[in-house]
Amino acid sequence: MRTMLILFLSMICLWSCEESKRSNTLLILDPSKMDASEFAGQGVYLIPPTHFVKAAAFDGYKSPSGYSSISIIKSPKAFEALQAFYDKNNLASLDSELIEWRPVRYGTNDRSFFNVVYDTPKSSYLYNLIVDRGEDRVVIQATCFKDEFKALDTELRASIFSAFITNDTKNTEAFQAASVTEAGHRIYTKDGLYPTKSKDQAQIRTYQLDITTGSQASEIMKNEIKEASGSEPVSINIKNIEVGKLISGFTTVNNRKAYCYVVQFKEKNTLVICFSGNSSADFQEFEKFISKRYSFLN
């Protein structure tokens, strides 16, 4: 579902971005916290690009290769100073090129702008959304190397433009995205650590696959539960849902709980959602997580 939402945002962004490269027209953003939004840090929620994982060294996300990222910082510099720094003449003196610049209306805030800069020495592109909140300037910055630009450009923009800025100092959700290096997998824990140090050892892992047969999906569900608990699922359920087919199973054995949902979309791609923990892990927290992020399962 998160991939589908990013794709939808990217399609909208593709049109607006192509238009923006030809002009400095006002970019209007209507910030809102969506079901797929994640706490990136510094009070900012956004929808990370597909396959990006939570970064351990900074507030934000990074690609599995580590060569691309989205980071969140709060700058003490005045808004006018930031505008001056990104002036094309100043950037040229730093051997960088201003590719795009747009004034932004972020909600009702007109003291915002977006730009794209090419850093010649580093052969990399920088995307900056800067919002002046009075007490500070929130900078949402994405970076990618030249050879990844075409593949990531639209998705990085969509992710940045999904930003919702709050005064939250920490994640208010029960589960936080954890920093992992396994490509394509997203892991959520109570403390944002992996392996988790929470007493219930609860963790949620999600990933996507290209699978077309029900037997393959059932086998994945069984393997996930066995890996998490050391036991076969005691219950298996298969049902048709609006977006395709849901295969689910669970077990509670050896002081372990394990649940797995495998969603086969009509488009033929497959989403795997796994929950595991010790005997004190609360399945209702998993259900709340699913209901917010994957409303099609409700």
| Distance of alpha carbon 78 from alpha carbon 84, whole angstroms | 10
Mean predicted confidence (pLDDT) in 147-160: 95
Quickly tell me which residue has 């840090």 as its tokens.
41
Looking at the structure, tell me whether residues 13 and 111 fall in a common domain.
yes
In whole angstroms, give the CA distance from residue 167 to residue 193: 23
In a shared domain, residues 26 and 127: yes
CA distance readout (Å), 59 to 64, 69, 97, 99, 141 = 16, 10, 26, 26, 11
Please count the CA atoms within 13 angstroms of the CA of 297 that sit on its side-chain side. Answer: 24
Q: Is residue 170 situated within a structural domain?
A: no
- DSSP type of residue 197: -
| d(C-alpha 6, C-alpha 92), whole Å | 33
Does some domain include residue 266? yes
Domain boundary among 141, 165, 189: 165
What's the average model confidence in pLDDT over 91-102? 96
Same domain, 133 and 273: no
Residues 135 and 94 in one domain: yes
Residue-level pLDDT at 22: 40
Pick the range with the lowest mean pLDDT from 72-76, 81-85, 176-180, 236-240: 176-180
Q: What is the mean pLDDT of residues 228-253?
A: 92
Q: Same structural domain for residues 120 and 238?
A: no
- Whole-angstrom CA distances from 67 to 55, 152, 159, 191, 225 are 12, 11, 17, 26, 33
Same domain for 185 and 216?
Answer: yes
Q: Verify that 118 and 137 share a domain, yes or no.
A: yes
Taking the whole predicted model, whether its pTM rises above 0.85 is answered as: no
150 in the same domain as 238? no
- Cα separation, 121 vs 99, whole angstroms: 15
3-state DSSP helix/strand/coil % of the chain, to nearest 5: 25, 40, 35
Instruction: Among 184-188, 191-195, 224-228, name the most confident range.
Output: 224-228
Residue 138, helix vs strand vs coil: strand
Q: Is the per-residue pLDDT at 167 higher than 60?
A: yes
pLDDT of residue 197: 94
Whether residue 20 has pLDDT greater than 50: no
Sequence-separated (6 or more) residues with CB below 8 Å from residue 178: 54, 187, 188, 189, 192, 193, 194, 196, 203
Confidence check: pLDDT of 42 > 80: yes
Give me the CATH number covering residue 272: 3.40.1000.10
Structurally, the chain folds into a number of domains equal to: 2
Domain carrying residue 75 = 2-165
Nearest C-alpha neighbor of 153 from the set 112, 185, 124:
124
Give the pLDDT of residue 93: 97
Domain contains 171: no
